[in-house]
Structure formats: C-alpha cells, structure tokens
Structure 1
Amino acid sequence: MIGTRVEGVRVRLPHLENPMGHPNRRDLGLLVLRVGTGAVLAAHGTQKLLGWFGGGGLEGTTKAMEAMGFNPGRESAIAAGLGEAGGGVLLALGLATPAAGAAAAGAMAGAVAVHAPAGFFAQGGGYEYPAFLGFTAAGIGITGAGRYSLDHVTGHVLDRPWVVAAAFLGTAIAAAAVVGRRAQEQASPEPAPDVEPESA
C-alpha cells in the first residue's frame, strides 16, 4: 500500500497505487487487444484450414506452403492454420494465454520469413503485418489475459510463470527449426535431371 503519515495516521493514496486511474482500465485494454488480435488471427487460420473468408482451405494452403519452400506442405499448412486459428481463439477467450500467444507468434515468424526478402513495409509485400501480429500476440502472452478472461475465471491454472517460459521456449525452438530447414532447402542446389545419352 502506498501512503503517507499525517500526525501519526497513515493515509492511503489510491491514485498512486493505481497510476492508470480506474482499476479496470488495464483489464479492458487487454480485453480489446485480445479480442481484436485473436479475431484477426482466427480468421486467417480458418482461411487456411477450412477455406472460410475466401481462403484456399487445406488443399490450397498445402500447395502454397510447398511453393514457399515449407515441406512437408500438408503438415506445414496444418501447423500454420492451427497456430493462427487455435491461438487466435484462445487469445480472444483469454484461455491458456501464454501458449496461445506463443503459438500465434510462432506462426507469424514463419510468415515473416516468407515476406522478409520483400523488405519491411506491407505495401511492397514486406513482413510488416505478420510482424505486428506476432509481436502483439507475444506481448499478450507474456503480460497475461487480464481479469476479463477464462484464465482469471479458472484461477490461472494455465497461466503460470513456468507455462510462459515453456510455451515461448518451445515455440522459439520449433519456429527456428522450421524456418532454418526452409532456408537450408532453398540454399541447396536442385539436383540436375538425369539425361540419357543419345544413341548413335
């Protein structure tokens, strides 16, 4: 408790205890961030998995993943779609927030790797947009979902400090492995096709 003493009596200074003013402002801000970011991520994920909102569905996403150098394509499509859709829904609900934020950030790391050759800004095809979503999701995952969330309702069982560390460490390792494998395959020269000698 922050306070001062006036003639031997301790006086509370609640405006200093809560510098943001109203005690619900932080939680309301986190709710807006969670729902907005989660909805955008979930929409992109359902495009990839289910073909909703004009997406290519799993078949189209598989072909796109293979064209971008992510192999095997189907497994990569499922992982990206689940990271976005599952992570987005969980972020919006505020449930298992560290894992949700880490999963979404990992999916966005793959998107950043794809768009990186085009530079930063989105109008040139760069990685600005996925980087923004990834950092936002990661920030929510680290900060926590706030009071207006299922994590709060369930007593933060899935939001312990060790969960935060494990979720982000595991996602970082997995994302680095996937992106590194893609870069290695792209750097490897394609084998020359076998050509049968012409008969005399």
Structure 2
Amino acid sequence: MTCINRHDLGLLALRAGTGAVLVAHGSQKLFGWFGGGGLAGTAAGMEHMGFLPGHRNAVAAGLGEAGGGAMLALGLGTPVAGAAVAGTMAGAVAVHAPAGFFAQSGGYEYPAFLGFTAAAIGVAGAGRYSLDHATGRRFDRPWMLALAFAGSAVASAAVVSKRNKAQAAKAKAEADAVPGAGA
C-alpha cells in the first residue's frame, strides 16, 4: 500500500486551485462566462489597452489562461502550462504596472502572483497525482522546461514591447491633437 505523499498532495492542491482560477478568468475572455466580455468584449478591451490586433490578443490571453490553467490543474505538460501562464500574466502585469504593486489600487500584484505561481509549478513539476506522472512524464521532459520558458519569455517580451510602442504612439497622437501641446 502506497502512503499519501504530503508534497505531492500539496502540489495537487496548488495546481487545482491555481488552475481553476485561471480557467475561470480565461473563460470570461473566451466565452463571456462568469460575467466576462467574451471574445468581442475582450478584443475591444485589448485594443483599448494597446494590444493590437485586439481579437488575436484576446484569443491568446484567453487560451493562455484557460488552456494553461486547465493543463496546470490536470498536471499535463506542466512546464509548457506554467510557461504559457507566466507569459500571459507578464502581459497583464504590463497593463497594471502604472498603478503600482497593490491590487486594491489597480496594481499588478494579482497577475504577478498568478504568473509566479504558475512558473513555480512549471519548474517544480506536477507531482505524483498528475497526468504527467500517469503518462511517464512524456510531456514533462527537462528540455521542454527550458524551451517553454525561453519561448514564453521571448513571446511575452515581443507582445509587451509592441503594446508599449502602440501606447506611446497613441499618447503622442493625443498630445499632437491638443492645440499648442506639441509646441
């Protein structure tokens, strides 16, 4: 008889809780569930925040959250899931950063916490009570960890950089539209 391992049970609880939160947030973006805007509303919001094109970014954010969250909860492809969520949350952090750290003032505390938690799970692995364990770690190889996090870092840096350039161009256009502001 196998004894229940507290470490693996803790990873299961952390994966399930974090994954459920992410699935709920991603479902708001993709399907409009739980009071979300669905793809149309999320795409409009993405455009407003400078993520262009809005629809493509809405789909990417929704899939990063819902898909990555589901994979974390199941413990399937854990390095890829953790990296996908961490990259998605990097975009959310960029949006909230001007408001400071704390969530009550609109800051980036919450998406940073979700991103770091997902990254930590991706690095630590899913544990015994997971689909990764059940499949002999077929989708959790050491090379996948390095590749997934490197790819996520490059992709999120590119998306955030493009967003920052769009925001700067928008601010310049607004300043130029005000008589005497550009002089």
Q: TM-score, normalised by structure 1?
A: 0.84
Q: Does 1:80 align with 2:61?
A: yes
- Given the alignment, which residue of 167, 173, 190 partners 2:173? 190
User: In structure 2, what is the Cα distance between the partners aligned to 1:75 and 1:121?
Assistant: 29
Q: Does 1:127 align with 2:108?
A: yes
- CA RMSD in angstroms comes to 1.3
Q: TM-score, normalised by structure 2?
A: 0.91
Deviations 1:4-38 (A, max 9, x none): xxxxxxxxxxxxxxxxxx76011001000000000
Deviations 1:124-174 (A, max 9, x none): 000000000000000000100000000000000110000000000000000
**Seq. identity, %:** 71
Give unmatched runs, 5+ long, in structure 1: 1-21, 194-200
Aligned to 2:158: 177
Moved over 3 A (4+): none
3-state SS of 1:159 partner: coil
Q: Which has the higher contact order (CA 8 A, sep 6+)?
A: 2
Aligned to 2:128: 147
Deviations 1:95-137 (A, max 9, x none): 0000111111111110000000000000000000000000000
Aligned to 2:38: 57
Deviations 1:33-73 (A, max 9, x none): 00000000000000000000010000000000000000000
User: In structure 2, what is the Cα distance between the partners aligned to 1:186 and 1:76?
Assistant: 15
Query: Higher helix fraction: Structure 1 or Structure 2?
Result: 2
Give unmatched runs, 5+ long, in structure 2: 178-183
- Given the alignment, which residue of 51, 70, 77 partners 1:70? 51
